[in-house]
Structure 1
Amino acid sequence: MIVITAPTGNIGRPLLSRLLESAPAAGEELRVIVRDPGGLPAAARGRVEVITGSHADAEVLDRAFAGADAVFWLVPPDSSRTPADGYSGFAAPAVKALAAHGVGHVVAVSALGRGTPVAERAGLVTATLAMDDLIAGTGVAYRALANPSFFENFLEETDSIRENGVFVDVVDPDRKAPLVAVADIAAVAAGLLLDRSWSGNDSVPVLGPEDLSPNDLARIMTEQLGRPVRYERQPYEELHTTLLGYGLNQEFAQGVVDMKRAKDQGLDAGVARTPDTASPTTFEQWCAEILAPAVGF
């Protein structure tokens, strides 16, 4: 039995689709935890066991983890909570349920940066890595998917790209860093969940096919969208003010700023890309298939 949290999210949805294709042949049953079962894809209906509720709820987790062999764990960012409470606090009931039900394997969405000089002052990433330690401390076989920033983050800027030909961030325009498509993260997660021959505690980097700078991204967007797109660097103070204006918890907003600053200081640069850590989807492909339709070009 594989339990999937956040099955309607950016990573959980493609993961669920992959498991629906492969799990029956592997003799695996699937169970999902979801607030709104109506949001599940049509292909899942009648083929997965549904536990309705939040995976922050101890009673929900108790039902969901009973008889489970493996869990896919993803914490949705909650801007109303502090980073520590939003990650380790959110996961605390899961830690108890994993131990109570003797779940053998957990695969979780995490972040790059462990072992780098800036990891302890990286805001949301620091909180994520602390959550990894909390879960691994249960003794479960644990794999943390160590991810850089997602291509899908640009979907939050479709209006600006469409109307102004601009996307905004705070990092140096020439700093190259890995980026990854969420579908590639889902593919790695599916492989780990279906083949549980691994043990112990480790991270699994998912780095995309190449490092790209904001200027590289602007050039590729321009080529793929057929319209000029440029990168605009935003001051950290302006980002913090903007986030507070959206009503974010003050510590969460600072956690975003600290994460961004750490990325600009090399947080994501500590892992070499190899055939095992690279993933296939290029930014060109993603722009053509995902960004262009979202922008309307």
Structure 2
Amino acid sequence: MSTPVVAVTGATGRLGGRVARRLSAAGVAQRLVVRDAARAPDLPGASVAVAEYGDGPAGRAALSGVGTLFMVSASESPDRAAEHRTFVDSAVAAGVERIVYISFYGASPDATFAHARLHWETEEYLRSTGLATVMLRDNLYLDFLPALMGEDGVIRGPAGDGRLSAVAQDDIADAAAAVLSDPARHDGKVYDLTGPEELTMTEVAAILTAHLGRQVRYVDETLEQAYASRAHYGAPQWEVDAWVSTYTAVAAGEMAGVSPDVADLAGHPATTLAELLARG
């Protein structure tokens, strides 16, 4: 096999794994950069390299000979921004030409959602390297919406009547695979990956009710109530802040808006919540 031109991170996860399988099916040679080789998927046309984002030397070795890097963000942690910078530096040192980065919808320095601010920092760092970049800014995962519901059938959070255009992971993967199959054509582009509809949390609850055949409802919390209802998890403050800011970003209108980019890139309409649920 010739030297892989595409490196895929996160291949042991839900999104990176979907992208890797699509590239393999399309005959694209790839290098799967993972933390644990034993968990890497066994795919035709794929080799495996081991590296963590925060390990510069391992990153440089894993990315040697790679032309395009598909970079899924690191696991949520207080050190995530620093790990991103280290891995990007590794890519530069290894001679990578282009990074296709999974960012977040509405990424900006003053975004309400905490992680959207972090993604903006990473975007800016990527731009500072001089490498070619493609930013794929996905909205919240449509697949995750059922998990917002508690065991009592209640979605709780300070989202008010705000709307979100959540996007299916399969749609993100289809769009990313299309970009990675002909990456140079997309250099410098920023794509907004959304679903085809804007839903309030009340509407999400109604769709879940119809699918599950039992009552699901949304309770709009105050900020104080939101922090109190999540206190029993014992999560660190930065993580609770991120959870709560997911809802306040919806309330602020920062998760709303429908983009045509999924359909344009993937070649099919984006998936609705009802369609995703019907698939099982």
Shift of 1:101: 2.2
| 1:279-290 equivalent positions in 2, closer than 5 A | 279-290=269-280
Unaligned runs of 5+ in 2: none
Aligned to 2:196, the other structure's residue is in SS state coil
| Preserved contact between residue 159 and residue 249 of structure 2 (Cα < 8 Å) | no
Share of identical aligned residues, percent? Answer: 25
Query: What TM-score does the superposition give when structure 2 sets the normalisation length?
Result: 0.86
CA RMSD of aligned residues (A): 2.5
For 1:71, the equivalent position in structure 2 comes to 69
Does residue 207 (structure 1) correspond to residue 194 (structure 2)? The answer is: yes
Shift of 1:65: 1.1
Aligned to 2:279, the other structure's residue is in SS state helix
Does residue 93 (structure 1) correspond to residue 86 (structure 2)? The answer is: yes
Does residue 188 (structure 1) correspond to residue 169 (structure 2)? The answer is: no
Q: What is the alpha-carbon distance in structure 1 between the residues aligned to residue 35 and residue 255 of structure 2?
A: 33
Does residue 124 (structure 1) correspond to residue 109 (structure 2)? The answer is: no
Aligned to 2:194, the other structure's residue is in SS state coil
Comparing 266-275 with 177-186, which one deviates more in the overlay? 266-275
Q: What is the alpha-carbon distance in structure 2 between the residues aligned to residue 284 and residue 263 of structure 1?
A: 20
For 2:240, the equivalent position in structure 1 comes to 253
Letter in 1 for 2:138: N
For 1:229, the equivalent position in structure 2 comes to 216
Shift of 1:124: 1.6
| 1:52-63 equivalent positions in 2, closer than 5 A | 52-63=50-61
Does residue 20 (structure 1) correspond to residue 18 (structure 2)? The answer is: no
Shift of 1:16: 1.1
Q: What is the alpha-carbon distance in structure 2 between the residues aligned to residue 283 and residue 155 of structure 1?
A: 10
- Cα-to-partner distance string for 1:151-179 (whole Å, 9 max, x where unaligned): 12235346x3xx4222233201x322211
Q: What is the alpha-carbon distance in structure 2 between the residues aligned to residue 259 and residue 164 of structure 1?
A: 21
Shift of 1:194: 1.1
For 1:133, the equivalent position in structure 2 comes to 124
Comparing 141-150 with 236-245, which one deviates more in the overlay? 236-245
Shift of 1:36: 2.5
For 1:167, the equivalent position in structure 2 comes to 155
| Preserved contact between residue 162 and residue 250 of structure 2 (Cα < 8 Å) | no
Unaligned runs of 5+ in 1: 291-297
The alpha-carbon distance between structure 1 residues 10 and 169, as it changes in their structure 2 partners (threshold 3 A), is farther
Give the structure, 1 or 2, with the largest relative contact order (CA under 8 Å, sep 6 or more).
1
Aligned to 2:274, the other structure's residue is in SS state helix
Query: What TM-score does the superposition give when structure 1 sets the normalisation length?
Result: 0.82
Does residue 108 (structure 1) correspond to residue 101 (structure 2)? The answer is: yes
The alpha-carbon distance between structure 1 residues 244 and 100, as it changes in their structure 2 partners (threshold 3 A), is farther
Comparing 10-19 with 196-205, which one deviates more in the overlay? 196-205
